[in-house]
Structure 1
Amino acid sequence: MLTVFLLSLIAVLTAWCGFESSKWGGEMSIAFSQASSARIQSTAAEAQANAARQYDLTIYTQWVLAVEAQDTDLQGFIEERFSPQFAVAFDAWEAGGREALGPFTVPEYVPPGTLESVALADRADAKFDEALEYNQRGDNYTLLTVLFALVLFLTAMSQRVNAAWMQRAMLGLAVIVAVGCVVTMLTYPVKI
């Protein structure tokens, strides 16, 4: 009777662990995809920021040349073409007495795409870590599936040996492993 009950229960628990492993594997795949998508978006935002920096640097270079040539009309013309982000940084640099190495070094200079790039990179890192966690959960359930298969094997083998002490020993070991697996399984998160 105990053998039949144990075989039935462990068969169901083995199937459950396989199901959970599969579900966590799916969650892992989704999280990896989200991490990849966020990383691509972060790279695009960083490219936008780099393009804005390049534009601002080109304009600033022309401004420096106009200052060197003492052409105030050209200076004014160029300043009108500063990007809004660079204009803020330029004004802060001027207000600081031009002590910083240039408007690009002041904290006020934040080209478009910079903050988005950082936020998306952080999201990608978080999703990647989440995917690794889900992968471990799936692996934990897979290991339980293997251990439950061992319980099935020991239970079935206990019926094949002739010595009564060997039957009890194999069945006892199967019960011990089964209880340990069930207790462990109860500590794992469930994904339905």
Structure 2
Amino acid sequence: MTTTERSEPSTTAGERDMLEGWLEYHRMTLAQKCSGLDEKSLRETSAPPSDLSLMGLVRHMAEVERGWFRRTMAGESREDAGWIYSTPADHDGDLHPGESDTWEEAFATWQEEISRGREIAARFDSLDDLALGRHPRRPMDFNLRWIYTHMIEEYARHNGHADLLRERIDGAKGD
């Protein structure tokens, strides 16, 4: 897996550049938390009784990227942008990779959803522009600013989980 170096977000950027910078920073943080580990370690649920793994977090973030940018912001249908890993039988299927699931596929899918999210956000001129779709559990209007802020919060929370998982796997620490 190749990752680029994470760079600190600007401390003086305008609002949109600041939000995009922080979102990219957190995306790269999760990639770095997974960097250098083998498939077995990426699947490891290293903090019992939690069943979280680094691979599960990456799969979850692929679902989150898809849900907020494709379905909510762009208004894509469930037929066009349905669940990637979750199923009616396992709503948290993103967090539960099966034996046939691979890190290579999970990482590539996550990167594809990030790329699509960037493309979708770039179509909107203003942070005040409203999403074209609705979130299934939150039937209200969202603007791009809210979605960026929520995505930063989502990554920040899960990067905290990734910190703990990584430290339990091999002792690696970092910010």
Shorter-chain-normalised TM-score: which range?
0.3 to 0.5
Computing the radius of gyration from Cα coordinates, the structure with the larger value is 1
TM-score (ref. length: structure 2): 0.37
TM-score (ref. length: structure 1): 0.34
